Structure 1
Amino acid sequence: MEALPETRKIIHLDMDAFYASVEQRDNPVLRGRPVAVGGSRQRGVVAAASYEARQFGVRSAMPSSTALRKCPGLVFVKPRFEVYKEVSRQIRAIFAEYTPLIEPLSLDEAYLDVTENLKGITLATQVAREIRAEILRQTQLTASAGISYNKFLAKLASDYRKPNGQFVIRPDQGPAFVEKLGVGEFHGIGPATAARLNNLGIFTGLDLRQQTEAFLRQHFGKAGSHYYRIARAQDFRPVVSDRLRKSIGSETTFEQDLWTPEELLEGLQPCLDSVWQHCQRTGLRGRTVTLKVKYADFQQITRSRTLFGPVPTPEAFAYLSHELLTGIQPISKGIRLLGVSLSNLETPEEAVGKQLALLL
């Protein structure tokens, strides 16, 4: 019988400054120094920052020029994604020794349902401790863990003992824990939504709990029901293993703005290659092609095209992307970023199933 939501034992495992920590592990010269993984040039962006860099206010997604102003001694390292993927595979193999219920969120974090774990360990805190110790032994990297009875609280808890620690929120502690938080601290509530909540006089979890579900839905649509539940420390979402990605995408920020059709086509090609290579590795195909464009003044637009069936070949993918690119021309201002993605993804089995259904 499936465990009731309130009796689940969920762990959120999060590697500490993952990309930067891998670089410091592999290059002793970088240890103890502020390190940023990403591009150091004018148009570069920080993909990850070591804890030494974070002390200066350097954060992921920050422009490299800003990061350098905050931390003049910052050392930039080019990302090595194949290495990070291999380490991630090692870590997931460790997870699999404890539970088959693993929901990866990215290369460096995942949810685990250890309610009934493969080791027969009663305490989820002990499971988390053993997994973290095994990760350290095998990879020389540290991880932090949040343990609770649902995913929302486990995710919040994993931030409370970083780096290299763990924190538990028990069922009798959940509501009191949530009510003290600012709404901007809730996972899934970004700055814009937090500002909208503040404008409604809602600043804390307790303020949020005092609102009716109808009121929250009136202002935030379906998301309002989610806010209503998490304000009560409720989250009934199960840990879903083998979660299908919603989209596959790639983008490039250019050193110099692009202006001509030839420059745009040339600039987009590496993104097309990257996305299709992922499709070949995974077998996934998508029905929707989306072009992302960011201009020199940081205005951003997207253009999409959806087919009845999945895009069948790299040539078709390139053709549709080029059509979308043609649709934004001629341009009146330079382009600093181009990206392309495939969504409405299907596995080969799903695609065949739909074709058979049409024939029946």
Structure 2
Amino acid sequence: MTEKILQKFNIDAFQKKLIEWFQDNKRDLPWRHDQDPYKVWVSEIMLQQTQVDTVIPYFQRFIAKYPSLYDLAYADEQEVLKMWEGLGYYSRVRNLQNAVREVVDEYGGEVPDDPKKLGKLKGVGPYTKGAILSIAFDQPQPAVDGNVMRVLSRVLKIEDDIAQPKVKKQFEGYAEALISHDDPSSFNQGLMELGALVCTPKEPMCMFCPVQEHCLAFQEGLEENLPVKSKAKKQKKIHYTVLLIRNGKNECLIEKRPDNGLLANMWQFPMVPVDEIGRDHMANWFQMEYGIDVELSAKKGDLKHVFTHIIWQLEVVEARTKSDQAEDERLCFVSRDELDDYPFPVSHQKMMQYL
């Protein structure tokens, strides 16, 4: 199928135009200043689901704190989560740190340039593997993300549903057939840059496209109809009441989330699942769950936080307790100033305005 689509496609001319355009127009991004595989790796993990402008200051702070792979491997996980605070998708950084530790233990601190070894590391999927191998090691390995699928679906006029896993596999085949073996780094980054700056999801700027003459969708006026992507399932809404609990010392009660799952090992203000227990039984539920008596008071506000598969509807309520100690190992009392030492997800950072 790949051969049939590419039969009449001028691959050499496409590569040349794309690479020349990238060399002339590439953004000055901090992870492009060298080909250090560790920095490439960190940047690619940060850029998953996150805008470039958001990532730049995080990347600079992160590399300043952990300039080498060893620095990250030996760092305290809570400290690392704190450095990632606000970027979201926290499993990314936990997987990154675990994988970096494996590189230290198994490969003497050298990021492996072997596709099989690299692909087995925690959190290194096909895209991240291809990006590291092509950008850091100049290997002609495809790196296919949403940007690249959008560009190639238009250039090659592919009308298959990109939400289907088998279709993504097909795109990896197209990218592998198209990639420059002379400069795979510039080719892959060129596709990514083109998708970010020109071949955008809505209203692509075809007049500025360096590969317009090769674009089959443009020739037929179909560029705005591609890629084809079926809608994801509707997100499930879950309602919580979040309790801002303070004791007689004006300390705040905070809770550490479980080691696994959503926002693992982050800290939060205690959350009561009101859909399950009802609003009238929150204090009783809290006493049964944590062994602390609380007295609810004023509602402070409402917040909504959207994850990939679920939406949290959060009602924020003040509460008091006479307890000064938390027996439950998930909980601890901290002063307002000490809150800054703990990694909180964005939704709970927003609640600090109410303290």
- TM-score (normalizing by structure 1): 0.24
TM-score between both structures, scaled by the size of structure 2: 0.24
- Larger fraction in helix: 2
Bigger relative contact order (CA 8 A; separation at least 6): 2
